[in-house]
């Protein structure tokens, strides 16, 4: 799935610091440059012999080249055509780099993993972070773990529990399929150009399939979506298109409760009850 590098008349000098290009606002690019943060991310990934590492959005190679130095091999997924050639050239001094020039939402992670599993890492574009996370969930069985940098607000939502103001659909969906662990915060000054928000690094480890316990993923997704679609409504009203109050109560969930009061396990139990009843 690798592509031929984009040719350029400008030579690129390999460097442990990567290379410099202008960030493209329409792609949501903010390039990481703070060495201390880079080192903490590489330490969090801690690549081991035999790992299949895949980086989403390598940008100027801030994480790419240190990972190559540690591991020797890396696959990257980069949408920006103008970054392909400098990445390929600069990587020669560090290790073997495979470049997939695609929109990450069209990349089949399961196909990349083959018979094994991949480890995902990346500084995700903030305007696409949720779609990328849900895309990864579709391939969770092929993914061993994920270490992502995201907008801190998104990481807070991912890890939030019932009762939190930011507990919602994203957190329930991710926590049903993964263990979610926030690792550390990243200030705006660690990027060039600096974003207007704080960032954070999070680790997601997909749960073993036999421990997830979701009978019908489509039904589960629909229940969670409708439950949080109108947060102020009780489950009795929010889920009226899917079931009645008696069905909610039969699953051991309170119909008068609101979505933000319900545990992830309760959403799973309710969705399974509805799936088994049809």
Q: Binding site: residue ranges?
A: 30, 32, 57, 78, 103, 123
Q: Mean pLDDT for the chain?
A: 90
Sign of CA dihedral 211, 160, 30, 39: negative
Strand-strand pairing, 178-186 and 199-206: antiparallel
242 three-state secondary structure: coil
CA distance 61 to 227: 41
The tens-digit pLDDT sequence of the chain (278 residues) is 333 333 333 333 434 445 555 544 444 456 788 999 999 999 999 999 999 999 999 988 999 999 999 999 999 999 999 899 999 999 999 999 999 999 999 999 999 999 999 999 999 988 899 999 999 999 999 999 999 999 999 999 999 999 999 999 999 999 999 999 999 999 999 998 888 899 999 999 999 988 999 999 999 999 999 999 988 899 999 999 999 999 999 999 999 999 999 999 999 999 999 999 97
Q: Give the tens place of pLDDT for each residue, 97-116.
A: 999 999 999 999 999 999 99
The residues that bridge with 14 in the sheet, in sequence order, are: none
CA proximity to 16, closest of 82, 74, 78, 67: 67
pLDDT attached to residue 4: 31
Residues 6+ positions from 136 with CB-CB distance below 8 Å: 109, 120, 143, 146, 204
pTM of the predicted model as reported, rounded to 2 decimal places: 0.87
Sign of CA dihedral 117, 119, 197, 57: negative
Q: Binding site for S-adenosyl-L-methionine: residue ranges?
A: 30, 32, 57, 78, 103, 123
CA distance 163 to 81: 44
pLDDT attached to residue 18: 56
Residues 6+ positions from 144 with CB-CB distance below 8 Å: 51, 117, 118, 119, 205, 206
Neighbours of 207 (CB within 10 A): 14
DSSP structure class, residue 259: G
Residues 6+ positions from 114 with CB-CB distance below 8 Å: none
Contact between 28 and 16 under an 8 Å Cβ cutoff? The reply is no
Q: Cis (ω within 30 of 0) for the bond into 245?
A: no
Q: What are phi and psi of 244, to 5 degrees?
A: -105, 175
- The domains located in the chain, with CATH, are 25-210 (3.40.50.150), 217-277 (1.10.8.100)
Q: What are phi and psi of 192, to 5 degrees?
A: -130, 115
Q: Give the tens place of pLDDT for each residue, 68-96.
A: 999 999 999 999 998 999 999 999 999 99
Sign of CA dihedral 114, 118, 121, 126: positive
CA distance 192 to 97: 24
* Token pair 């400008």 in the structure block, residue: 10
pLDDT attached to residue 115: 96
């Amino acid at each position: 799935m690798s592509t031929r590098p984009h040719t350029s008349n400008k030579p690129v000098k390999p460097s442990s610091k990567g290379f410099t290009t202008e960030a493209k606002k329409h792609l949501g690019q903010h390039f990481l440059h703070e060495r201390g943060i880079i080192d903490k991310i590489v330490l969090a990934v801690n690549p081991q012999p035999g790992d299949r590492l895949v980086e989403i959005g390598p940008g100027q190679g801030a994480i790419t080249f240190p990972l190559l130095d540690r591991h020797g091999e890396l696959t990257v997924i980069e949408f920006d055509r103008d970054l392909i050639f400098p990445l390929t050239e600069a990587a020669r001094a560090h290790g073997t780099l495979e470049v997939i020039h695609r929109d990450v939402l069209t990349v089949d992670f399961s196909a990349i993993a083959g018979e094994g599993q991949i480890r995902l890492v990346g500084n995700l574009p903030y305007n696409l972070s949720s779609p990328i996370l849900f895309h990864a969930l579709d391939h969770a069985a092929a993914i061993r773990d994920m270490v992502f940098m995201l907008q801190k607000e998104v990481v807070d939502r991912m890890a939030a529990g019932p009762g939190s103001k930011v507990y919602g659909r994203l957190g329930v969906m991710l926590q049903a399929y993964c263990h979610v662990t926030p690792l550390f915060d990243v200030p705006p000054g660690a990027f060039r150009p600096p974003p207007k928000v704080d960032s954070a690094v999070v680790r997601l480890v997909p749960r073993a399939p036999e421990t997830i316990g979701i009978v019908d993923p489509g039904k589960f997704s629909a229940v969670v979506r409708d439950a949080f679609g109108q947060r102020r409504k009780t489950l009795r009203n929010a889920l009226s298109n899917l079931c009645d109050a008696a069905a909610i109560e039969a699953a051991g969930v309170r119909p008068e409760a609101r979505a933000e009061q319900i545990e992830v396990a309760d959403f799973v139990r309710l969705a399974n009850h509805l799936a088994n009843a049809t």
